[in-house]
Protein backbone atom coordinates (compact mmCIF):
# COMPACT_ATOMS: atom_id res chain seq x y z
CA UNK A 1 0.00 0.00 0.00
CA UNK A 2 1.24 3.47 -0.87
CA UNK A 3 0.44 4.87 2.57
CA UNK A 4 2.70 2.28 4.20
CA UNK A 5 5.55 3.28 1.89
CA UNK A 6 4.98 6.90 2.89
CA UNK A 7 4.95 6.20 6.62
CA UNK A 8 8.07 4.03 6.43
CA UNK A 9 9.99 6.74 4.60
CA UNK A 10 8.65 9.53 6.81
CA UNK A 11 9.74 7.66 9.94
CA UNK A 12 13.17 7.09 8.42
CA UNK A 13 13.50 10.80 7.62
CA UNK A 14 12.44 11.82 11.13
CA UNK A 15 14.85 9.36 12.76
CA UNK A 16 17.77 10.52 10.61
CA UNK A 17 17.06 14.16 11.47
CA UNK A 18 17.01 13.50 15.20
CA UNK A 19 20.42 11.86 15.11
CA UNK A 20 21.86 15.35 14.52
CA UNK A 21 18.84 17.41 15.66
CA UNK A 22 20.06 20.55 13.93
CA UNK A 23 17.97 22.64 11.51
CA UNK A 24 21.12 23.72 9.64
CA UNK A 25 22.47 20.23 8.91
CA UNK A 26 21.42 18.74 5.57
CA UNK A 27 20.29 15.12 5.89
CA UNK A 28 21.43 12.75 3.14
CA UNK A 29 18.55 11.48 1.02
CA UNK A 30 19.28 7.77 0.41
CA UNK A 31 16.86 7.29 -2.47
CA UNK A 32 17.34 7.53 -6.24
CA UNK A 33 16.98 11.13 -7.41
CA UNK A 34 13.54 11.90 -8.89
CA UNK A 35 12.02 8.64 -7.65
CA UNK A 36 8.80 8.89 -5.64
CA UNK A 37 10.72 7.60 -2.61
CA UNK A 38 13.23 10.44 -3.04
CA UNK A 39 10.43 13.02 -3.12
CA UNK A 40 8.69 11.53 -0.07
CA UNK A 41 11.93 11.63 1.93
CA UNK A 42 12.57 15.20 0.78
CA UNK A 43 8.99 16.21 1.63
CA UNK A 44 9.22 14.97 5.19
CA UNK A 45 12.70 16.46 5.54
CA UNK A 46 11.26 19.89 4.79
CA UNK A 47 8.42 19.28 7.25
CA UNK A 48 10.79 18.10 9.97
CA UNK A 49 13.10 21.09 9.74
CA UNK A 50 10.13 23.45 9.64
CA UNK A 51 8.63 21.76 12.71
CA UNK A 52 11.76 22.67 14.65
CA UNK A 53 11.98 26.17 13.18
CA UNK A 54 8.43 26.74 14.42
CA UNK A 55 9.56 25.64 17.90
CA UNK A 56 12.59 27.95 17.84
CA UNK A 57 10.68 31.04 16.72
CA UNK A 58 8.28 30.67 19.66
CA UNK A 59 11.06 31.20 22.20
CA UNK A 60 9.82 34.27 24.14
CA UNK A 61 13.43 35.42 24.58
CA UNK A 62 14.36 35.24 20.89
CA UNK A 63 16.12 38.25 19.41
CA UNK A 64 13.64 40.12 17.14
CA UNK A 65 16.16 40.33 14.29
CA UNK A 66 16.77 36.59 14.49
CA UNK A 67 13.02 35.99 14.66
CA UNK A 68 12.50 37.92 11.42
CA UNK A 69 15.20 35.85 9.72
CA UNK A 70 13.49 32.69 10.91
CA UNK A 71 10.10 33.94 9.68
CA UNK A 72 11.58 34.51 6.23
CA UNK A 73 13.09 31.04 6.33
CA UNK A 74 9.75 29.50 7.33
CA UNK A 75 8.02 31.36 4.48
CA UNK A 76 10.56 29.96 2.04
CA UNK A 77 10.12 26.49 3.51
CA UNK A 78 6.35 26.74 3.08
CA UNK A 79 6.83 27.56 -0.59
CA UNK A 80 9.20 24.61 -1.02
CA UNK A 81 6.65 22.38 0.71
CA UNK A 82 3.85 23.54 -1.60
CA UNK A 83 6.01 23.09 -4.71
CA UNK A 84 6.91 19.56 -3.64
CA UNK A 85 3.29 18.60 -2.96
CA UNK A 86 2.40 19.75 -6.47
CA UNK A 87 5.30 17.73 -7.86
CA UNK A 88 4.07 14.60 -6.05
CA UNK A 89 0.59 15.21 -7.47
CA UNK A 90 2.17 15.39 -10.93
CA UNK A 91 3.59 11.92 -10.25
CA UNK A 92 0.06 10.65 -9.57
CA UNK A 93 -1.31 12.42 -12.65
CA UNK A 94 1.30 10.69 -14.77
CA UNK A 95 0.80 7.33 -13.03
CA UNK A 96 -2.94 7.33 -13.75
CA UNK A 97 -2.93 9.19 -17.07
CA UNK A 98 -4.18 6.18 -19.07
CA UNK A 99 -7.07 5.32 -16.73
CA UNK A 100 -10.48 5.45 -18.38
CA UNK A 101 -12.54 7.70 -16.13
CA UNK A 102 -16.09 6.47 -15.52
CA UNK A 103 -18.99 8.76 -16.49
CA UNK A 104 -20.12 8.71 -12.85
CA UNK A 105 -16.64 9.49 -11.47
CA UNK A 106 -16.38 12.17 -8.80
CA UNK A 107 -13.53 14.38 -7.63
CA UNK A 108 -12.12 14.20 -4.11
CA UNK A 109 -12.06 17.13 -1.70
CA UNK A 110 -8.25 17.14 -1.82
CA UNK A 111 -5.62 15.68 -4.11
CA UNK A 112 -3.62 12.58 -3.13
CA UNK A 113 -0.44 14.57 -2.48
CA UNK A 114 -2.15 16.97 -0.06
CA UNK A 115 -3.41 13.95 1.86
CA UNK A 116 0.17 12.62 1.86
CA UNK A 117 1.25 16.02 3.19
CA UNK A 118 -1.07 15.52 6.17
CA UNK A 119 0.32 12.02 6.68
CA UNK A 120 3.84 13.46 6.85
CA UNK A 121 2.80 15.98 9.51
CA UNK A 122 1.04 13.22 11.43
CA UNK A 123 4.25 11.19 11.51
CA UNK A 124 5.97 14.18 13.11
CA UNK A 125 3.19 14.66 15.66
CA UNK A 126 3.37 10.98 16.61
CA UNK A 127 7.16 11.08 16.98
CA UNK A 128 7.11 14.13 19.21
CA UNK A 129 4.11 13.00 21.25
CA UNK A 130 5.93 9.72 21.90
CA UNK A 131 8.86 11.78 23.17
CA UNK A 132 6.51 13.45 25.65
CA UNK A 133 5.17 10.07 26.78
CA UNK A 134 8.75 8.87 27.34
CA UNK A 135 9.81 11.87 29.45
CA UNK A 136 11.08 11.19 32.98
CA UNK A 137 11.22 14.82 34.12
CA UNK A 138 7.52 15.59 34.20
CA UNK A 139 4.34 14.64 36.05
CA UNK A 140 2.43 11.41 35.66
CA UNK A 141 -0.60 13.52 34.73
CA UNK A 142 1.27 15.07 31.82
CA UNK A 143 2.40 11.65 30.61
CA UNK A 144 -1.14 10.26 30.89
CA UNK A 145 -2.55 13.15 28.87
CA UNK A 146 0.12 12.73 26.20
CA UNK A 147 -0.50 8.98 26.06
CA UNK A 148 -4.18 9.68 25.33
CA UNK A 149 -3.25 12.19 22.63
CA UNK A 150 -0.82 9.69 21.13
CA UNK A 151 -3.57 7.09 20.88
CA UNK A 152 -5.75 9.58 18.98
CA UNK A 153 -2.89 10.46 16.63
CA UNK A 154 -2.21 6.79 15.89
CA UNK A 155 -5.90 6.23 15.14
CA UNK A 156 -5.89 9.28 12.88
CA UNK A 157 -2.81 7.94 11.08
CA UNK A 158 -4.56 4.61 10.50
CA UNK A 159 -7.73 6.26 9.19
CA UNK A 160 -5.85 8.67 6.93
CA UNK A 161 -3.74 5.82 5.54
CA UNK A 162 -6.88 3.85 4.64
CA UNK A 163 -8.41 6.97 3.06
CA UNK A 164 -5.30 7.61 0.93
CA UNK A 165 -5.08 4.02 -0.29
CA UNK A 166 -8.82 3.96 -1.03
CA UNK A 167 -8.56 7.21 -2.97
CA UNK A 168 -5.67 5.87 -5.06
CA UNK A 169 -7.60 2.65 -5.74
CA UNK A 170 -10.62 4.70 -6.81
CA UNK A 171 -8.49 6.82 -9.15
CA UNK A 172 -6.90 3.66 -10.57
CA UNK A 173 -10.29 2.12 -11.38
CA UNK A 174 -11.76 5.35 -12.74
CA UNK A 175 -14.41 5.94 -10.09
CA UNK A 176 -12.57 9.06 -8.90
CA UNK A 177 -10.54 11.56 -10.89
CA UNK A 178 -8.04 14.15 -9.83
CA UNK A 179 -7.02 17.63 -10.84
CA UNK A 180 -3.97 19.60 -9.79
CA UNK A 181 -4.57 23.23 -8.93
CA UNK A 182 -1.47 25.32 -8.45
CA UNK A 183 -1.69 27.00 -5.07
CA UNK A 184 -0.93 30.46 -6.47
CA UNK A 185 0.22 31.80 -3.13
CA UNK A 186 -0.10 35.56 -3.31
CA UNK A 187 1.94 36.73 -0.34
CA UNK A 188 5.23 35.49 -1.86
CA UNK A 189 4.62 37.08 -5.27
CA UNK A 190 5.86 40.67 -5.73
CA UNK A 191 3.24 41.14 -8.46
CA UNK A 192 0.32 40.03 -6.24
CA UNK A 193 1.17 41.21 -2.71
CA UNK A 194 0.12 44.89 -2.44
CA UNK A 195 2.68 45.50 0.31
CA UNK A 196 5.39 44.45 -2.14
CA UNK A 197 4.16 46.00 -5.39
CA UNK A 198 3.07 49.16 -3.58
CA UNK A 199 6.54 49.87 -2.20
CA UNK A 200 8.22 53.00 -3.52
**Domain assignment of residue 199, yes or no:** no
Quick check: is 133 in a domain? yes
Tens-digit pLDDT profile for residues 81-99: 999 999 999 999 999 999 9
In-domain check, residue 120: yes
- 200 assigned to some structural domain: no
Confidence tier at 194 by pLDDT (50, 70, 90): confident
Direct distance between the N- and C-terminal alpha carbons of the chain, in angstroms, rounded to an integer: 54
* pLDDT tens readout for residues 106-149: 999 999 999 999 999 999 999 999 999 999 999 999 999 999 99
Does any domain span residue 196?
Answer: no
- Name the 3-class secondary structure at 106: strand
Answer yes or no: is 194 within a domain.
no
- Total number of domains in the chain: 1
Q: Look at residue 197 and tell me if it is in a domain.
A: no
Q: Which domain does 130 fall in, by range? A: 2-189
Separation CA 36–CA 34 (nearest Å): 6
Whole-number Å distance between alpha carbons of 177 and 175: 7
Kindly state whether residue 23 falls inside one of the protein's structural domains.
yes
pTM value?
0.91
Amino acid sequence: MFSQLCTTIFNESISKYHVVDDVDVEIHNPYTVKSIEYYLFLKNGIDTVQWHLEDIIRNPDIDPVEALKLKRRIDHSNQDRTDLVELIDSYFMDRYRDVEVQASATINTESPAWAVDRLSILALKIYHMQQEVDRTDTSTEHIAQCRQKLAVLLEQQKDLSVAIDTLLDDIANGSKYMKVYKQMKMYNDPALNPVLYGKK
